[in-house]
Amino acid sequence: MASDRTKEFQATVESILNRKTVIEQQHLLQNQTSPRTQRSEFANAASTIGKEINNTVTKLQRLTQLAKRRTMFDDNPTEINDLIQVVKQDINRINQRIDYLQMSSRNKNKNSRKNDEDNAQALEHSKNVIVSLQSKLANTSNDFKNVLEIRTQNMREQKSRRDQYGVSNLSTFTSPDLDLLKNNPLPLYQTAMAAMNYPVSPTPSSLSSPLVSSSNIPNTNITSTTPNNSNITNNIVNPNSSNNNNNNNSNINNTNLNTNLDFNSGLNRLSTPSYASAYNGNIPMYQPLDNNNTTPNQKDSFVSISMDEGSLNDSLGLGSIIGGEQQQLLANPVHTEYLESRSQAIDSIESTIAELGQIYQHFAQILAGQRETVQRIDDNIADVEMNVEGAQTQLMKYYNNISNNRWLIIKALGIVLIFFLIFVMFL
């Protein structure tokens, strides 16, 4: 039925056009008023933050999936470590953005004091948005922490399982270092440990992000009352606590902060995918693990999480060394024997070299002492030379004297002889 419906069409087009102009007018209105544009900027920023949070959530879900896998094999620690690192960075970044957003919104609201009612509402709206973003981020970071704890538990179980399969397999990797840490005062490993200990301390400070800078803003939800070592996780966990509450909880916060710090520094340690550095990074962390197992040290508040950190480090380091495919080989006793013998050979070589070093030092010491002796001999001989030369000159003088005196004596004797002759002649 081809009826002529052009008029209808035109009418609809006109109506659409009208609608469009209305919308355009609205747009124009919005663009004219500046606080509205600012708010739309704010909205844009908030929406990007929300999107990033969503991305992080999906990554975290993948991480949870990976961490929950309980198989001993088919474990790709590199991917897990990478994911952990990426998620951590995302959380950091999102936190920074939220801070920045908060600061900027506050500044704008301070600068522009147009309509009080309007501003109050805008303030409240922006505050609400920020609070919701923060709470979302807090939830994600909580989940992240849970995932990491699950992962540490899994790692520990895996380690115990590996221990069951082959007693000595772990010792090939861990006992050299343990022995060296505890018993052997070998200079090589001591210096290596000293070198390793240095990176430990700066990392916590590196984790204190611009949260510290935002602590100046009053009545904010993120900042804690401890400006020294603020921690992302902890701060986001308490998004709604006011400053009053923080004063009461400050102690708990402190310990929580510190444990989270160690946690995060441990995570930092793990971030390197390369086997060697992960392995090396495990060396200083090994001591806290053993100390916590046997004796309580002064970091009692750190006990719970630093144990995790130690085992996390240890097991992840082991995981990264052993890798997926070789885990089953460790069940092979010949393989372990081979590896053990290799490590023993290397140990003996190392100790021999150390002994040689000691012998050389001893040698140098004795030689230095002997140099002194030689100098003394030299001085004595110089003295002797001096004395002998002096004596020689004296003797020469004496000799000259004597030879001169002889002439005198001869003369005197001659005179005496003459007298004698005169006496004899006259008598």
Which residues in this chain contact another protein in the complex, by CB under 8 A?
A: 325-326, 329, 332, 334-335, 337-338, 341-342, 345-346, 348-349, 352-353, 355-356, 359-360, 362-363, 366-367, 369-370, 373-374, 376-377, 380-381, 383-384, 387-388, 390-392, 394-395, 397-398, 401-402, 405-406, 409
Token readout for 245 is 């509450």
Q: Is the dihedral of CA 113, 115, 116, 119 positive or negative?
A: negative
Q: Which is nearer to another protein, 202 or 333 (CB)?
A: 333
Tell me the closest approach of the beta carbon of residue 353 to another protein, in angstroms: 7
Helices and strands, number each (H, E), in the chain: 12, 0
Tell me the closest approach of the beta carbon of residue 277 to another protein, in angstroms: 25
Instruction: Give the Cα separation of 204 and 265 in Å (integer).
Output: 6
Instruction: Give the Cα separation of 190 and 260 in Å (integer).
Output: 28
The DSSP symbol for 221 reads S
Tell me the closest approach of the beta carbon of residue 316 to another protein, in angstroms: 22
Tell me the closest approach of the beta carbon of residue 135 to another protein, in angstroms: 50
Q: Which is nearer to another protein, 43 or 396 (CB)?
A: 396
Q: Which is nearer to another protein, 15 or 370 (CB)?
A: 370
Q: Which is nearer to another protein, 10 or 361 (CB)?
A: 361
For residues 234 and 211, the answer to whether their CB atoms sit within 8 Å is no
Q: Which is nearer to another protein, 142 or 361 (CB)?
A: 361
Instruction: Give the Cα separation of 259 and 292 in Å (integer).
Output: 14
Closest C-alpha to 284, from 268, 269, 298:
269
Q: How many CB atoms neighbour CB 350 within 10 A? A: 16
Token readout for 206 is 């590196």
For residues 81 and 270, the answer to whether their CB atoms sit within 8 Å is yes
Q: Which is nearer to another protein, 9 or 363 (CB)?
A: 363
Q: Which is nearer to another protein, 250 or 380 (CB)?
A: 380
Tell me the closest approach of the beta carbon of residue 377 to another protein, in angstroms: 5
**CB contact burial 86-105 (16+ within 10 A = b; e otherwise):** bbbebbeebbebbbebbbeb
Tell me the closest approach of the beta carbon of residue 346 to another protein, in angstroms: 7
Tell me the closest approach of the beta carbon of residue 162 to another protein, in angstroms: 17
**3-state class of 233 per DSSP?**
helix
Q: Which long-range contacts (CB under 8 A, 24 or more apart) does 104-111 make?
A: 104/42, 105/42, 105/130, 106/217, 108/35, 108/38
Q: How many CB atoms neighbour CB 53 within 10 A? A: 20
Q: Which is nearer to another protein, 118 or 379 (CB)?
A: 379
**3-state class of 311 per DSSP?**
helix
Tell me the closest approach of the beta carbon of residue 315 to another protein, in angstroms: 22
Q: How many CB atoms neighbour CB 335 within 10 A? A: 16
Instruction: Give the Cα separation of 42 and 36 in Å (integer).
Output: 9
What interhelical angle do 167-182 and 333-426 show, nearest 10?
30
What interhelical angle do 77-111 and 34-68 show, nearest 10?
160
For residues 226 and 253, the answer to whether their CB atoms sit within 8 Å is yes
Tell me the closest approach of the beta carbon of residue 348 to another protein, in angstroms: 6
Q: Which is nearer to another protein, 74 or 116 (CB)?
A: 74
Q: Which is nearer to another protein, 72 or 103 (CB)?
A: 72
Instruction: Give the Cα separation of 130 and 246 in Å (integer).
Output: 20
Q: Which is nearer to another protein, 304 or 352 (CB)?
A: 352
